[in-house]
Structure 1
Amino acid sequence: MLNQTIISLGIFLAAAPETAPRPVPLTRPEMKRLIEDVKVRTPRIPMPELTDADRQALGDRADDYEAVIRHRYTPWVETRRTPRASGPNVEQEPGMTLSYAFKTQLFWIVSRANNCQYCIGHQESKLLNAGLTEDQIAALDGDWSRHTPAEQAAFAFARKLSFQPYAIGDADIQSLRRFYTDLQILEMVISVSGNNVSNRWKEAVAVPQRKDEGGYSRNTEDLSLPRGTYLTPTSASFEKLISNVAPIIFDTATGAPTRDTISRRPALESRTDVERALTQARSRKARLPLVEEHEARTNFAGAAPEGPLPQWVRLLANFPREGTRHLNTIRLADEKSDLSPLLKGQLAWIVARQDGAWYAVGHAYKRLRDAGQTDEQIYALDGDWHEFSPRDQSLFTVARKLAASPVILTDADVTNAVELAGPRDVVQSIHYTTSRSLFDRITEAAGLQLEN
C-alpha cells in the first residue's frame, strides 16, 4: 500500500495559491510558461526588517529575498556575492571525470522529477550555454532514445534517486557499472543528491526567479541569442510530447494525463520491520568505495569530526574538495542552527523514514536516544502526532512533505508553521530538512553499513 498524496490542479493555477502547490506541466511549452511565471511568485517567508549593520553586511544584496533570508536565519550558510565557481570551462576537482554538461543534464532531470520550476529554469540556461540545442534539451523530457545507453541509465538513476530514494538497491548500482566506474557513480550520487537539496530549498521558501533569467540568460556576449525569457520557441516534434520524466498520473475515467501534483511514499514500516531493517543495515557491505580513516583525515584537512570516522565521512573523502563542501553542509546544519538537539533528531527521523534511508534512520535513532527519548516516543513520530504540540506538528509537516516531494508543501503549510513557530525556526527546519535529504540519498545509495 502507498502513502499517497494527490492534489488536483489546473494549468492556470485555478485553485487558491495558499492551499495548492504548482501543477505539473505536461508538455515543454507548458513547462516554459510555468518557469517564466516563477519570476512573479510570492515568497513564503516574510522579509525581516534590516538594521544598518545588516544592510552593510549584505551590500547590494540587501533587497535580494534569498540573501536576506539566509543572512538573518541561517547565518552560518555562506552567502557569497558570486556563486560557487561552475560552468563548462571551470576545472573540475581531480578524480571527478563526469562533464559539466552531463551533470547539468542530470540536474535538469532531477528538477523535472521534483517539479522544481525554479531549478528547471536555471538548468535550461546552463545547458544552452554549455552548447546544447533546444531540441537536445527537449529530448531530456520526451525522447531518451536520442541519448546513448550510458546516458539513459544515468538519467533513470537520477530520476529514481530523486523521486524514489527508498527503492534504490544493489541492482541500481550494478546496472550503472556497465557504463561507469565506482568513482563516477559516486560522483553522480553526490551531484544528484546536492541537486535535491537545491530543489527543496528553492521551492520550500519560494524563491522568485530573476527577471532577466531565461534563454541564454546573462552568460553570453552574442546579443542575437534569445535572452531574459524562458518563452522560447519549441520545435513541432516536441511541442505536444508528454513528459517522460515528470511523475504523471492519469484520469481514471478518460485515461488522459493530468497536471495533478502527486507524491508517493510507501506506507511506513512497522516497528518490528524497522528494527529488522536496522539489524540488516549493521551487517551490509558498502556498495561504493570508502577511504581509509587516516587518508580521509588528510583529505579533509581538519574538517573531519573527532573520534572514529563514520562511513559517510569516509565515503565523501573520495573527493576532498567537493566532499568537504558536503561534509560542512551536513555538520553545520547539525551544529550551528538554533533548533534544539531533540527537534533536529525528530526531523532527521521523519525525513529518513520518508526516504527509507536505513543508515540515516539508525543515526537519527541514536541521536534521539542520546536526547533522552524512549523507543515509544521515537516511534510516535511515525504516527499522527496528536501527542505533540501544534508548533511541533507544523514543523513536522514541513519536514515530512518537503522530504517526500518539494512541491506538495504548500503556502498554507509554511504560513501555519511561521505563525506557530516563527520564521527563524521554519527557515532553519527547512534548511535542516534539505541537509538530511542530502545525507539520506548519499548514504543509502552507497548502502553504507550502520555503525551503531
Structure 2
Amino acid sequence: MTFPRMALGLGLAAAAFLSSARAEGDPAVSLPTDQETWKKLPEVASGGGGPLPVWAKAVATRLPRTAAAMLELDFAQRTKSPVDPKLRAAMRWVIAHQNHCPYSEAYALADARRAGMDEATVKAVTGDPSGWPAEYRDALEFARLHTVDAPSIPDALFAKLVAKYGEKQAAAMVLLGAYGNFQDRVVLGLNLPGESGAPLEPIAVKFAPGAFQSTPVLPPQAELKPLKDDGATVVDRDPEWSELSYDALQSRLETQRARKPRLPVPTWDEVKKGLPPEFAQRPTRIVWNLVCSGYVPELALPWSRATRTMWAEAKPDRVFEESLFWVQTRAIRCNYCMGHCEMLLEVAGLDKGAIAERTRRLAGDDWSAFPPEEQRAYAYARKLTKAPWTVTPGEYKALEADLGPDAAMATFWWLCRGLYMTRVSDGFALPLERENVFMDFYGPNGPKTK
C-alpha cells in the first residue's frame, strides 16, 4: 500500500510552505531512503512501503522500534483527537510558530486545509494574535502560553476551555501541546529538512504484534560514576542558573504538593476500564498517568507505548537520564516533574542523601563534580529545552562524540520527551504526590527488563 500526498490544490500551497521549511546546512544524522527505513522498521501488519516523514527516518537510524511507535503516535494525534480538526491544526501551527519550526508550521497548515479551513481563516490564524478568529482565541492563547511559558498559564484560561469544549477536549489540547513541543525538538535538534513536495498525510500503518513495549519495563542501572571533588568545569557557567537556590527549589516542590489540579484526578478503578489488558496489569497512583489515560486514552496510550519502547530498545543509564531531565525541569520551572526526577533517582538506587547532593550540584553553575561528557550533555539539555531553534548539528555531533551514536540518539530522544512530560504536568497543573509512587510501578516488586 502507498500513501497519497495531499490533494493537488492543497499540495501546491503546502509545498510552497514546505520548501521554505528546509533546514540550512546538513542534518545532524545521515538520512536513509524511505525503502531503507522500512527495512529497518519492525514487521508491518498493514500498510507500509510509502513515503515516510523525515523525523521517522532520522530516529530509525538508531531506534527503529521507537521510530515505528512514533508513526502510530503521530497518526493518533492527527486523526483521533477529539478536538475539531481545524482548531487542532490552528493550535499546532501556533505551537510550531513559537518554537520557530517552519517544518511543523507547514504540516499544520496542510492539516488545516485538508480539514476544510478557508484561506481567510488561515490568514487570521497565521497573522498577528490580535486578529485571531474570536472562536479560536482562547485555545490559541493556551497553545502559545503552553509553549513559551507553561507555568504561567492562568487557571481561568483553562477553565474557559473546559467550559467551552468539555474536559475531554481540554485534556486533548494539553496532550497536543505536549506532542508539538516534543516533535518540534526532534526536527529542530537534528536540523531536519522538509520532505520534497507537499507534507505527507498521516501514515496509516500497523505494525505486527511484538513490535512495541506496552507493559512497564525497567532498564538495568549502569554502574554509578561517583561525583568528583577535584573535577573541572568544561562548559560555560551560567550565573542566572544558580540564582534560584537548591533550597528554594525544594520549597517549590512542597508548594506543588498542595496544588489543586485543573481537572479532577480519576481513580485507578475509573481509568483501567478504558485501558487494554497490557496497560491495566499493574495499578498506578501516578497522577500524570491517571489524568492522561483517564481523559484521552486514545492519545495517551500511543505516547506511553513509544516511551516504553524507547526504554526497552535503548536500555539507558537511569541516573544519567534523570539528571538530564532534572536540568530540563529546572530550565522551565516544572516543579511536578522535578519531584518525579527525585523519585526516579531513588528507584535507580540512590538514597535520599545522594539524591540531594546530586541535585544540589546540578542546581549550581559549577558542574565540575560531573564527568566532562555529562557536563556537556547537561548544557545541551538546557539549550534544547529553552531555545531548540538555536541548537546546531555540530552540537548533536559533539553529543555523538561523547556518548557514541546509539546513546546519543537515545539521549536526544529522551530530552525531546522531557518537553512532552513537562507540558502535560504544567498544562494540567498536577499536584506532586507526597510518596514515591514509582515504587508501586518500578520498585522491588515491579517489572524487570525483558
What interval of TM-score do these two structures reach, taking the shorter chain for normalisation? 0.7 to 0.9
CA deviations on 1:238-264 (whole Å, 9 max, x unpaired) are xxxxxxxxxxxxxxxxxxxxxxxxxxx
TM-fit CA distance, 1:151: 1.2
- Match of residue 337 from structure 1: 314
- Match of residue 272 from structure 1: 247
Paired residues of 1:44 and 1:206 also in contact (CA < 8 A): yes
Determine which structure has the larger helix proportion and give its number.
Answer: 2
One of 300, 319, 322 as aligned partner of 2:296: 319
One of 423, 432, 436 as aligned partner of 2:418: 436
TM-fit CA distance, 1:426: 1.8
Alignment of 1:88-103 (within 5 A): 92=80, 96=82, 98-103=83-88
One of 4, 12, 22 as aligned partner of 1:38: 22
Paired residues of 1:110 and 1:195 also in contact (CA < 8 A): yes
Alignment of 1:408 onto 2:390: yes
CA deviations on 1:70-101 (whole Å, 9 max, x unpaired) are 2342233152797654699x5x46xx3x2011
Pick which of 125-134 and 360-369 moved more.
125-134
CA distance in 2, matches of 1:176, 1:218: 28
Alignment of 1:279-298 (within 5 A): 279-298=254-273
Alignment of 1:239-388 (within 5 A): 269-301=244-276, 302-304=278-280, 306-316=282-292, 317-334=294-311, 336-371=313-348, 372=350, 373-384=354-365, 385-388=367-370
CA deviations on 1:323-362 (whole Å, 9 max, x unpaired) are 2122323444455433201111111211111221111010
SS of alignment partner, residue 146 of structure 2: helix
- Match of residue 71 from structure 1: 60
- Please list every run of 5 or more consecutive structure 2 residues that lacks an aligned counterpart in the other structure: 1-12, 43-47, 203-239, 436-450
- Match of residue 139 from structure 1: 124
CA deviations on 1:289-314 (whole Å, 9 max, x unpaired) are 32221121222223157343311111
Q: One-letter code of the match for 2:126?
A: D
CA distance in 2, matches of 1:287, 1:81: 28
CA deviations on 1:356-401 (whole Å, 9 max, x unpaired) are 1111010001222343233121121223322222211222222211
Alignment of 1:419 onto 2:401: yes
Q: One-letter code of the match for 1:314?
A: L
CA deviations on 1:42-83 (whole Å, 9 max, x unpaired) are 210245899x99847589589986444423422331527976
RMSD: 3.5
CA distance in 2, matches of 1:56, 1:323: 26
- TM-score (normalised: structure 2): 0.72
Q: One-letter code of the match for 2:179?
A: G
TM-fit CA distance, 1:37: 4.9
- Match of residue 157 from structure 1: 142
CA distance in 2, matches of 1:116, 1:342: 31
Structure 2 vs 1, CA of residues 183 and 370 (structure 1 numbering), >3 Å: closer, same or farther? Answer: same
SS of alignment partner, residue 70 of structure 1: helix
Q: One-letter code of the match for 2:62?
A: Y
Paired residues of 1:359 and 1:448 also in contact (CA < 8 A): yes
CA distance in 2, matches of 1:362, 1:81: 27
Structure 2 vs 1, CA of residues 315 and 389 (structure 1 numbering), >3 Å: closer, same or farther? Answer: same
Structure 2 vs 1, CA of residues 82 and 382 (structure 1 numbering), >3 Å: closer, same or farther? Answer: closer
Structure 2 vs 1, CA of residues 117 and 295 (structure 1 numbering), >3 Å: closer, same or farther? Answer: same
CA deviations on 1:247-290 (whole Å, 9 max, x unpaired) are xxxxxxxxxxxxxxxxxx98762112111111122222221132
Alignment of 1:21-60 (within 5 A): 36-38=20-22, 41-46=25-30, 55=39
- TM-score (normalised: structure 1): 0.72
Q: Identity over aligned residues, as a percent? A: 20
CA distance in 2, matches of 1:357, 1:80: 26
Paired residues of 1:44 and 1:205 also in contact (CA < 8 A): yes
- Please list every run of 5 or more consecutive structure 1 residues that lacks an aligned counterpart in the other structure: 1-28, 220-264
Q: One-letter code of the match for 2:253?
A: L
Paired residues of 1:313 and 1:327 also in contact (CA < 8 A): no
CA distance in 2, matches of 1:348, 1:87: 24
CA distance in 2, matches of 1:413, 1:329: 25
CA distance in 2, matches of 1:54, 1:441: 31
Structure 2 vs 1, CA of residues 42 and 428 (structure 1 numbering), >3 Å: closer, same or farther? Answer: same
